[in-house]
Amino acid sequence: MLEFAILGLLQEAPMHGYELRKELTAKLGAIRAAISYGSLYPTLRRLQAAGWITEAAETPATAEEVPALTSRRGRVVYTITAEGKERFAQLIAQAGPETYDDTGFGVHFAFFARTDQATRLRILEGRRRKIEERREGLRDVLGRAAERLDAYTLELQRHGLDACEREVRWLEELIANERSGRAPTVPQPGTAGGRGENDSPPPPGASRTERP
């Protein structure tokens, strides 16, 4: 999952670790708290070993002076390679069952702008199916096993069931929008600034591995 997110982000610009974490947190803030460095740095090393990103120590370019004095620990800037872009495209195309769990779906959704329409539709429907199954499970428990559980546990299930129903409705809307070929619309310009002119998704069919 982290691998996917990093490859996706680095296609927008080269970054160093700290920056990567901040961008990741901003982009995925809705689904996970904050990426730990304990996962980030090992993953970066793994990606580099696989040849999907390259690591370049940041030197002040044309400054051969002050060579060893204090030896400022340079920031390490990571850049995605052509193989890395291929890998990212491949990860999108695969979209196995882990794509439908909470985290996996969220991360994939966050990079829908780099995903072709057919795959977007497939992922949305896979997620919907999964949530529907969870919903049925909760309904079963609330219906059949209700007397075996205490009031708090039941309340938790009820809240979970509500969230499931809500998400299914949300997914239905997104799927309908997707089928009609439109970008996700802004239904409520209500509270926070509903400025509408955002990136529109790439035209369906275009591969779109270059950054804008």
Partner DNA sequence: CGTGCGATGTATCGGTCCGATACATCGCGG
Partner DNA sequence: CCGCGATGTATCGGACCGATACATCGCACG
Size of the site for DNA (CB under 7 A): 28
Q: Which does 37 bind (CB under 5 to 8 A by kind): its own copies, DNA, none?
A: DNA
For 14, left (φ over 0), alpha (ψ -120 to 50), or beta? beta
- By CB under 8 A, residue 172 contacts its own copies: no
Structure token pair of residue 108: 């994939």
| Residues between 151 and 190 with contacts to DNA, criterion CB under 7 A | none
- In sequence order, the 6+-apart residues with CB closer than 8 A to the CB of 91 are 3, 4, 7
- In sequence order, the 6+-apart residues with CB closer than 8 A to the CB of 14 are 77, 78, 79, 80
- By CB under 7 A, residue 39 contacts DNA: yes
Phi and psi of 89, rounded to 5°?
-60, -40
- By CB under 8 A, residue 59 contacts its own copies: no
Distance, CA of 10 to CA of 209 (rounded, Å): 11
Build a one-symbol-per-residue string for 89-108: x at contacts with DNA by CB under 7 A, - elsewhere. --------xx--x-------
Q: Which does 1 bind (CB under 5 to 8 A by kind): DNA, its own copies, none?
A: DNA
Of 3 and 125, CB closest to DNA: 3
- By CB under 7 A, residue 133 contacts DNA: no
CA within 13 Å, CB half, 85? 13
Q: Which stretches of the chain bind DNA, using CB under 7 A? A: 1-3, 16-19, 32-39, 41-43, 45-46, 70, 72-73, 75-76, 97-98, 101
